[in-house]
Structure 1
C-alpha cells in the first residue's frame, strides 16, 4: 500500500479547494469515496479502514479551516445515505434513518466517519453546495440542482479517479432577466 503517496494526493485536492476559495463557512460539502478504488481494486471489494482514516483526516481540514459541514456518503447497499453530525442534521432539517454503516454495508469511508464524528447520525439525503467523488461513487444525487464540474489539477487519489463539483443558483427568467455576476 502506498498510503503516503495517496495522502499527498488527497492533500493536494484539499489544498486546491482551500486556495481557490470555492467554499464558504456554513457550506455543506459531500464526499463519496471508494477506498477499494484508491487501492486499485474494484469498488466494494477491498475496503480499507486505513485508507478511510487518512482521507477522513485530510478532508476534516476543510471543516477546521473553512467551517464547512461535511457529509460522508455511504455505498449503494445503504442507498447512498450519508453520515453527518447530529448538530448538522438538526440545523439543516434532515431526517435521520436507523442504520449504522459498516465496511460491508455502508463502506469503509462512511463506517469510519460514523465512528469518528461527534454524535454521528445517518440521513437519507442532503442538498450539498459542493463535493468530491473519489472512485466514481456518484455523489450527484446529493448536490443542489445546478452542478458545475470542477477540474482540479490533482485528478487521482491512488488509483481512483476524482471528480469535483460546485453548485450555483438557478438562472431563471427570460431574455429580459438580469443576473448578478
Structure 2
C-alpha cells in the first residue's frame, strides 16, 4: 500500500497526470476539466468508506498548480448522494447558463474532494450538469455523464494516485460526413463540385 502520509507524493502524481492531459487535450482559457475523486480509493479503501479532507486538499493543490499554468476551468463532481452535481465557480455557472442546484457538499454527502473544492473556491455553487472538454476520474467515480461527445480515452504515464486507479479522457467534435468529407482545411480541394 502507498504511504499516504507524504502529501507531496499525491500532489506530484496529480500534477503529472493533469499536466499531461492538459497538453493532450489542449486545455486552456475557456476550457473545462471535470474531476471525480474518491479519497477512499486513494487510501486503498473501497469508495465511500474512508474519505479524507487532507487527501483531497493534497490532490486539489496539484490540480490548482496546473490550472494556474493553463488557465482552464474546473468542475468537481460530487458523489451520488448529491446526484453527481458539480462544484463550480458561480461565474462559470452564469456564463454557461448552467442549472444551479442547492446543497453544500460535505464529506459524507458530496465527498471529501467536492467539499474541499467548495471551500477553496472564490464564489462556489453547484451545477446540475456540465459538458466538459476533458475529465479525470480518480478511483472510478464515473464522470462520463459530464463529458462532451466524443470522448477520446487518454492514458497518462502515471495510472494511479495513491492506490486509486486513474482514467482520463479528452473530447473532440463529432466527425460528420461520408467518404467525401474533409476534416482539415489544408486538405480541402475546392475544385470538385458537389451535386
Separation of aligned partners in 2, 1:26 and 1:179: 23
CA distance in 2, matches of 1:16, 1:143: 18
1:131 aligns with 2:135: yes
Which residue does 1:75 correspond to in 2?
Answer: 79
Structure 2 gaps of 5+ residues are: 186-195
Q: TM-score, normalised by structure 1?
A: 0.95
8 Å CA contact retained: 2:77, 2:86? yes
Any idea what the Cα deviations from partners look like across 1:19-50, whole Å, max 9, x if unmatched? 55631221011000000000111101111000
Q: 2:21 touches 2:170 (CA, 8 Å); kept in 1?
A: no
1:6–1:63: structure 2 CA closer, same or farther, 3 Å change rule?
closer
1:89 is aligned to 93
Q: Where does structure 1 lack aligned partners over 5 or more consecutive residues?
A: none
Does residue 45 of structure 2 align to residue 41 of structure 1?
A: yes
What SS is found at the alignment partner of 1:40? coil
Q: Secondary structure at the match of 1:166?
A: strand
State how far apart, in whole Å, the 2-side matches of 1:143 and 1:152 are: 18
Q: Does 1:150 align with 2:157?
A: no
Asked whether the equivalents of residues 134 and 169 of structure 2 are also in contact (C-alpha less than 8 Å), the reply is yes
Cα root mean square deviation, aligned: 1.4
SS at match of 2:64: helix
Cα 1:143–1:74 change in 2 (3 A) is same
Within a 5 Å distance, the mapping from 1:54-69 to structure 2 comes to 54-69=58-73
Quick check: which has more Rg, 1 or 2?
Answer: 2
Query: Equivalents in 2 of 1:171, 1:59: separation in Å?
Result: 31
Q: Deviations over 1:97-117 (max 9, x none)?
A: 011111001000001111110
Work out the CA distance in 2 between the residues paired with 1:80 and 1:61.
Answer: 25
Count residues in correspondence.
Answer: 181
